[in-house]
Amino acid sequence: MKVCWSITSKCNRNCRYCFRFNRQDLSLKENEKVLDSLFKMGVKKISWTGGEPFLYDDLPILLKKSKEYGIINSVNTNLTTVDLDNLKDKIKNVDRLIISLDFISDALNEKYGIGKDYYKHVSKILKRVKQIKPDIILQLNTVLFSGNINYMDGLYKEICKYDIDYWKIIRFLPIRGKAYEEKNNLSIEDDQFEKILTRFKQKKQHFKIIIHGLKEMEKKHIIVLSSGKLIYSENGKDKEIKSLI
C-alpha cells in the first residue's frame, strides 16, 4: 500500500496552481503515532509532501523511523530549505527525491509565485544529488498549465542536461485551494493536453517521461493530512475516513 502524507501545510512559496490542504500540523509524538498506524496498516511506500515537507523540522526523525520500518520514502520538495551544505543529511533516508520544476525563466517563476532565483538554486542541487547518493531515484515534477504549456520544449531541453530518472508532467487540476480559485486562468483544454502527450511520448532520452492526466486523477489516492486524518481522494473529491491518532 502507498500513501501520500501531507506532513505540513506550511510552504515558503506562493504557487498560483497549488492545491495543497490547509490543516494544523501535529507534534513529533503525534506523528510518530500516525507512522506506527500506517506501518500496522501495511503501508510500504510513503510520499512525503506538504506544503513544503522539509519545513517540518522533525521530518528527518520520521524519515529515519520510516526506513527502520522498511518503508520506501519519497519526498516531494521545492528544495528551498536544502543547500549544498545540508543536502547529504536531508536525503540520508530518502529513496526518491521529487523536485518541482515548472519554469527555467526567472520572470515566470516570479510571476507564478515560485521565486525569481528558483531555477538557479535547483540547478545547483540537481548537479550534486547523484554524486552524494548514487542510488537515489531522482525525479522532476512539472505542473502543466496555461502559463507554461508554450515553454515545455525549452524546459525539456534543459532537463536533458541532468542525471535524472523520471520527469513527470502533471495536468493542472483545480480541485481545491488556490488552484480552484485560478481554474479559469490556468486550465488547459483537452486537445492541448493531448498534443503534449503525443509530443513527449515520442521523445527518446536517458530518463523516463510520465504524463499524468485527468484519468490518473480519477483513481483513488490515499492521503494523510497534516492533522493526522486519513482521506481518500477520488475524481477530485476528498472523503475523510478516520483519524490515525
| Partner residues linked to 233 by β-bridges | 221, 238
- Give the separation between CA 159 and CA 166, rounded to whole angstroms: 10
Kindly report, residue by residue over 92-145, the tens digit of the pLDDT. Answer: 999 999 999 999 999 999 999 999 899 999 999 999 999 999 999 999 999 999
Q: How many domains does the chain have?
A: 1
- Give the separation between CA 6 and CA 20, rounded to whole angstroms: 8
Where on the phi/psi map is residue 42: left (φ > 0), alpha (ψ -120 to 50), or beta? left
Kindly report, residue by residue over 153-198, the tens digit of the pLDDT. Answer: 999 999 999 999 999 999 998 878 788 888 999 999 999 999 999 9
The one-character DSSP state at 70 is T
Measured CA to CA in angstroms, residue 199 lies from 153, 159, 168, 195, 211 at distances of: 10, 16, 14, 6, 11
CATH code for position 91: 3.20.20.70
**Which residues span the domain enclosing 64?**
2-243
The pLDDT value recorded for residue 121 is 95
